[in-house]
Structure 1
């Protein structure tokens, strides 16, 4: 068994949110020691470089590409999976070794990765997003056309549901199809045809059923949610609020008291505004929703002590450029170390993976990222990725001076 030492780098300690010089020993895909002067059979010279745990993006859509969602809806059905394979590789090269897919990916994608057919991050999948009739995930448009970005197929059940009993059955179908997490829209959204983010969707008894049935299967619920829809989701026990615009003080207080996570997806807003400016032909009412600013919910959440985990909503900002989110989190009140924590140990805890991922700790998987320069300077961090390791194996090497 080969013992490899990552020698002389500045290692990010996610638990203490600090960084300092250390060696990291890796054997058989696991971290076995962290310290100074470690001995091994092989070495990777990390002098002048930073060593991070594999980063985690808690909100992606790997089968989607680009911000022009209407063009995407006109593509051949199977193209999404070929593009998904490319998006997985781009995400991994960005130092993101684990993701939570928030609708789109089916069970075949993580299985293909696990079998070594395609490179990509570890995955938790939701398959699709529960929506009420006329809700954020309902593909019906006023023209009576259907513009479905996530058309159902045997591995991705249809998800328009109304009432607790429909919800009970649908969650069981999602679990049967391989879902690791249940995704729901408890409010309107920006890029759908219907209500905007301030309009709540689903009633308390419906959201409570989602949480009950998911819990019975050992799963959590993640909620696309804004405003009053977010408040209802928190009140009924969802694990995380995704996006989270227009959160009032009462909602933030509830999130702190209940330990509810916020996944801000700040990159999505940047990407959508850039798409409008570039002339992507959104309908006028959607373009107007995109132009509207969402307030300061994230900064207020940080100040209130809400737990934050990183998520990007890629591809609304491109796959492979996920680490812009770190810069945006800093702009909204986190320190650089806290932003990195949101993308490592916090994200692992949200996803229930903290026992094996999220920090450079003996006994955890050797998912590691080597970066050039100061790892606590998150500006343009994605452009400074030198090497990415999964289970101790180099899966992306940008600098050929870093052995693979």
Structure 2
């Protein structure tokens, strides 16, 4: 087997320790050694660069390519899959080698990446967004027509549910379709014009059924949860991660700490909604108004969660905003009180732990899969990080 050694660089190993000079050796897709003076059959000169573990984005929508209703309904059905291939490649070039798709991508997209038909980060997929009638995932419009964000098809079954029995059926249907994680709306949202992000959706009984179904199949649940009570309902039901977490109060934070619940903040999401509106995207006035209302309270909630020690993993909601701008989230996390090292931990080893890849990805350590990102200059220069990515290796193969 060929041994490839990355020499002359500085290593951020994913644990939060300060970057330090070291070589990294990979063989057969696995990291076999990290240390000084190592050798190999092939050498990659990393002088002046820092090596990072492959980065994670725990909340993306790879079939989404921005906001607005008309582009979605005017494109041919299959066009979304070609857009997904482009979006995945754009994300991989940032050094993001693993993503969790939070509704939209089906099993075919995941398998196409795994089989090497298209280049992109490895995928965990939720397939559909479980929502009640009138909820955040309900595409009903005042005209009476229904246009959900992700149009159902055989690989992406309808995910609307009302009551425990329908929740059970939808959970099983999504799991059958290949879902690695189940995503549920426990509150309204910013992008759904007729729902309020502060209001709760689904009863505790419905959420208990969902979590039970997921756990029986060894799966976790992620919750679109923005309003306070909906966040608490999700945490009490045993949902693994809160996505967004806009209106956190002290009790919600205490519950998350007690239950070990993760927060995936997606701070850049409302920022991207506001930007899209300013750029002329066709968005309902209510959506733009809500985005402006939540931006600062969202940041304040994340600051308090960080200060309290809530477990944080990086996610962006890319697809709502442009793919390729994912790393903007790191600077926003830093502005919420996280140290630069903690931001990178949230984007590497902590994210790996959330997604069940602990001990496999997220660190530069022997025995871990060889996802390596070579970054020129200061790895804590989050504003310049995207432009400083020199090479991206995935499972020991140079991808970028």
TM-score band (shorter)?
over 0.9
Name the counterpart of 1:321. Answer: 325
Name the counterpart of 2:339. Answer: 335
Q: Distance in 2 between matches of 1:17 and 1:135?
A: 43
Matched, 1:348 2:349: no
Q: Distance in 2 between matches of 1:390 and 1:14?
A: 16
**Structure 2: tracts of 5 or more residues without a match:** none
Preserved CA contact (<8 Å) 2:253 2:308 = yes
Residue 186 and residue 326 in structure 1: after superposition, are their counterparts in 2 closer, same or farther (change >3 A)? same
RMSD: 1.0
Preserved CA contact (<8 Å) 2:69 2:282 = no
**Structure 1: tracts of 5 or more residues without a match:** 397-404
Q: Distance in 2 between matches of 1:213 and 1:194?
A: 29
Task: Give the match's secondary structure for 1:132.
Answer: coil
Matched, 1:360 2:364: yes
Describe how 1:105-254 pairs up with structure 2 within 5 A. 105-227=105-227, 228-254=229-255
Query: Structure 1 length as normaliser, TM-score?
Result: 0.96
Name the counterpart of 1:379. Answer: 383
Preserved CA contact (<8 Å) 1:261 1:307 = yes
Q: Distance in 2 between matches of 1:330 and 1:73?
A: 38
Task: Give the match's secondary structure for 2:215.
Answer: helix
Name the counterpart of 2:316. Answer: 312
Q: Distance in 2 between matches of 1:239 and 1:212?
A: 12
1:303 to 294, 304, 307: 307
Q: Distance in 2 between matches of 1:339 and 1:18?
A: 12
Q: CA deviation at 1:17?
A: 3.2
Task: Give the match's secondary structure for 2:258.
Answer: helix
Q: Distance in 2 between matches of 1:13 and 1:54?
A: 10
Q: CA deviation at 1:324?
A: 0.8
Name the counterpart of 1:277. Answer: 278
Q: CA deviation at 1:148?
A: 1.9
Q: Distance in 2 between matches of 1:16 and 1:395?
A: 26
Task: Give the match's secondary structure for 1:346.
Answer: helix
Q: Which moved more, 1:113-122 or 1:64-73?
A: 64-73
- Length, aligned pairs only: 396
Q: CA deviation at 1:196?
A: 1.5
Q: CA deviation at 1:68?
A: 2.6
Q: Which moved more, 1:284-293 or 1:252-261?
A: 284-293
Q: CA deviation at 1:355?
A: 1.9
Q: CA deviation at 1:83?
A: 0.2
Residue 252 and residue 73 in structure 1: after superposition, are their counterparts in 2 closer, same or farther (change >3 A)? farther
Residue 315 and residue 338 in structure 1: after superposition, are their counterparts in 2 closer, same or farther (change >3 A)? same
